[in-house]
Copies of this chain bind each other. A is one copy, B any other.
Amino acid sequence: MTIRFGLLGAGRIGKVHAKAISADGNARLVAVADAMAPAAEAIAAQYSCEVRSIEAILAASDIDAVVICTPTDTHADLIEAFARAGKAIFCEKPIDLSLDRVKACLKVVRDTKAVLMVGFNRRFDPHFRAVKAEIAKGSIGAVEMVTITSRDPGAPPVDYIARSGGIFRDMTIHDFDMARFLLGEEVAEVSAQASVLVDPAIGTAGDFDSVQVMLRTATGKMALISNSRRATYGYDQRIEVHGAKGAVSAENQRPAMIELATAAGYTRPPLHDFFMTRYTEAYAAEIAGFIQAVLGKAEAAPTGEDGLSALALAEAALKSVALGRTVKISEIL
């Protein structure tokens, strides 16, 4: 059976999903909607699908599932509308910047029994999945300490930052989800430190550009996250999990895996400089995973609750920085 897709939002990440849907043998891109007509038309032309309004997609009988890539403040409304319309929903993170709004939205999803999957693409990276598989196999015994390093090649524009909800909700949120995924337990306590080291304008906008976070579960398992909005050497994405019987890690990915040896030493080229080239395979696997869920062959995961939990961790981190103390998740959720 082929899943028929409507794409909501034809921007940067919308294009990524359009490509992944079109390349998947089990899916067909039927329609695309975007407030900016030329963006929708470009995708329609490239993938031979129709431009429609969101309302038309909502009402369409030839659409089984939607991918929501519109601005964040529309996500919750769209999820609710499409859940009520009986469509399966893939939504880019975050569902909303407000925990209360997310909770209300997820109630609608539960009530309508809609299939909802949230776009934490990193869970689908083949290397990170292989790390998770080793944990599941018991190769490292009980998980004890997770270390996640995420650094972006450069900061986004300050006006984006101003609307983003801050670094914890915009960037660290991926690491919060990854930490939960790897710990295999809910986080109970959060402690964070944050600085402005990259660009004072980010501070002026009320945000930070360099942060570190400690997480701890009720049983004492721990995680460390290190984030920076700057990395001259490319898109730095590493995970490491230490357990009772050993450790497992995934190193950075590089577009050209060569090494040059000269009098200056041994040099390998920089990392991928863009999340889309770094996570090409992850985006394809993510849509494939969503299709499996729509077909009823797999659970839809990461779930809306995963999205809520990651957002709660972001909120806790922010509060920890503000108050200079450890914050319990029970204070947040």
Q: Which residues on A are within 8 Å of B, measured CB to CB? A: 23, 25, 46, 126-127, 130-131, 134, 139-140, 142, 144-145, 147, 149, 151, 189, 191-193, 195-198, 210, 212, 214, 216, 220-222, 224, 226, 228, 230-233, 236, 242, 244-251, 253, 255-270, 324-326
Contact = CB atoms under 8 A, between A and B. Distances in A.
A229 to B, nearest CB: 11
B232 A260 contact: no
Given A189-B193, A191-B193, A210-B144, A139 B224 contact: no
B260 A126 contact: no
B220 A195 contact: yes
Contacts of A269: 130, 265-266
Copies in the complex: 4
8 contacts: A193-B214, A197-B221, A198-B244, A230-B244, A233-B265, A248-B261, A249-B259, A250-B257
B247 A140 contact: no
A268 B270 contact: no
Contacts of A23: 23
Contacts of A25: 46
A228 B220 CA distance: 13
B224 A247 contact: no
Contacts of A326: 191, 193, 324-325
Contact of A246 (B140, B233, B258): B233
Nearest to A232: B263
The 3 residue pairs across chains A and B that have the minimum distance between CB atoms: A195-B220, A246-B262, A325-B325
A217 to B, nearest CB: 9
B255 A126 contact: yes
Contacts of A131: 258
A150 to B, nearest CB: 12
B216 A245 contact: no
